[in-house]
Amino acid sequence: MKMMNKIRIVRIIALLLILNVSNVSPLYSQKTISIAGIIRDKSSSEPLIGATVMLEGTKLGARTNKDGFYSIQNVPAGEYKIIARYMGYNQSSQKVTVKGNENIRINLMLESATVETEAVFVTADREVERREITISTVNIPVSQIKEIRVGGESDVFRTLQFLPGVLTSSQISSGLYVRGGSPDQNLVLLDGATIYNPAHLFGFFSTFNTNAIKDVEFIKGGFDAEYGGRLSSVLNITQKDGNRNEINGDISIGLICSQAGIEVPIGNGAMFLAGRRTYLDLITPVFASISDENLPDFYFYDINAKITQDFGENDKVSISGFLGSDKLTFSGQSNDIIMDVGNELLAGRWTHIFSNNLFSTVVVNYSKYKNRFAGGQTDYNFVYDNSIRDITGKVNLEWFIGEDASLKFGAEVNKLDFDLLMNFTGDTVSTSGSDYGQVNMQIPDMNYAAFIQTKFNPIEYFSVQAGLRFSHFQFNGMHSRGMFDENFKLNNFKLNKGYFLDPRLALRYMVTGDIAVKAAWGIYHQGLRIAGMPNFSIFDVWLPSDTSVNVSKSKHYIFSIETRPAETIDLNFDFYYKTMNDIGELNQMTLIGDKITDVLYIGNAYSYGAEVFLQKSVGRLTGWFGYGLGFIYAQYDSINQGRKFRPKFDRRHDIKFVAQYKLSTAWEVGGTFTLQSGQSYTGATSRGRLFLPDQSFGSSKITMSDLYGLRLPMSHQLNLYGAYNFKMWRKDARFIIDIYNVYNRRDIMMRMYNTREEVTMIEDLRLLPIIPSVSLEVRF
Q: What is the DSSP string of 708-765?
A: T-EEPPPEEEEEEEEEEEEEETTEEEEEEEEEESTT----EEEEEEE-SSSS-EEEEE
Say which residues have a Cβ less than 8 Å from residue 290's Cβ, sequence separation at least 6: none
Class of domain 31-129: mainly beta
Q: Tell me what pLDDT residue 405 has.
A: 86
Angle at 235 between CA 180 and CA 612, to 5 degrees: 55
What phi-psi label fits residue 499: left (phi over 0), alpha (psi between -120 and 50 degrees) or beta? beta
State the Cα torsion 572-575-579-580 to the nearest 10°: 30
Question: Between the CA of residue 133 and those of 136, 207, 590, 598, 729, what are the distances in Å?
Answer: 10, 30, 45, 42, 47
Question: Between the CA of residue 658 and those of 145, 147, 515, 647, 718, what are the distances in Å?
Answer: 11, 10, 24, 27, 10
Q: What residue spans in the chain does CATH classification 2.60.40.1120 cover?
A: 31-129
CA-wise closest residue to 624 among 147, 267, 37: 147
Asked whether the beta carbons of 595 and 529 are under 8 A apart, the reply is: no
Q: Tell me what pLDDT residue 717 has.
A: 92
Other Cβ atoms less than 10 A from the Cβ of 422: the count is: 19
Say which residues have a Cβ less than 8 Å from residue 12's Cβ, sequence separation at least 6: none
As beta bridge partners, residue 715 has 676
Distance CA 729, CA 85 (A): 34
Quick check: helix, strand or coil at residue 657? strand
Say which residues have a Cβ less than 8 Å from residue 196's Cβ, sequence separation at least 6: 188, 343, 367, 369, 388, 390, 542
Q: Which CATH architecture has domain 138-779?
A: Beta Barrel (2.40)
Say which residues have a Cβ less than 8 Å from residue 235's Cβ, sequence separation at least 6: 156, 160, 176, 186, 187, 188, 189, 216, 217, 218, 219
Quick check: helix, strand or coil at residue 485? coil
Q: What residue spans in the chain does CATH classification 2.40.170.20 cover?
A: 138-779
Q: Tell me what pLDDT residue 694 has.
A: 65
| Identity at 652, one-letter amino acid code | R
Q: Tell me what pLDDT residue 285 has.
A: 65
Q: Tell me what pLDDT residue 295 has.
A: 64
| Identity at 765, one-letter amino acid code | L
Kindly tell me the burial class for residue 383, based on how many C-beta atoms sit within 10 Å of its own C-beta (0-12, 13-18, 19 or more). middle
Asked whether the beta carbons of 386 and 541 are under 8 A apart, the reply is: yes
Q: Tell me what pLDDT residue 48 has.
A: 93
| Identity at 631, one-letter amino acid code | F
Q: Tell me what pLDDT residue 158 has.
A: 83
Q: Tell me what pLDDT residue 571 has.
A: 93
Q: Tell me what pLDDT residue 88 has.
A: 80
Q: Tell me what pLDDT residue 233 has.
A: 94
Q: Tell me what pLDDT residue 486 has.
A: 37
Classify strands 35-41 and 108-112 as parallel, antiparallel or unpaired.
parallel
Element (H, E) at 261: strand 257-266
Q: Enter the DSSP assignment of 550.
A: P
As beta bridge partners, residue 338 has 329, 374
Asked whether the beta carbons of 172 and 749 are under 8 A apart, the reply is: yes
| Identity at 427, one-letter amino acid code | D
Distance CA 708, CA 407 (A): 46
Distance CA 595, CA 603 (A): 16
Q: Tell me what pLDDT residue 446 has.
A: 85
Q: Enter the DSSP assignment of 201.
A: G
547 — phi, psi (to 5°)?
-75, -5
DSSP for 318-329 reads: EEEEEEEEEEEE
Q: Per-10-residue mean pLDDT for the chain, 780 residues long? A: 60 62 47 85 91 88 91 89 88 88 89 58 54 80 80 81 86 80 91 86 75 91 93 93 92 87 94 89 63 70 94 94 86 73 92 94 94 75 84 94 88 89 64 51 84 89 92 62 38 61 93 90 91 63 79 95 88 96 81 70 94 90 94 91 88 93 92 91 78 64 81 91 89 90 87 78 82 87
Q: Enter the DSSP assignment of 297.
A: E
| Identity at 651, one-letter amino acid code | R
CA-wise closest residue to 475 among 493, 460, 456, 496: 496
Q: How many residues are given for the chain?
A: 780
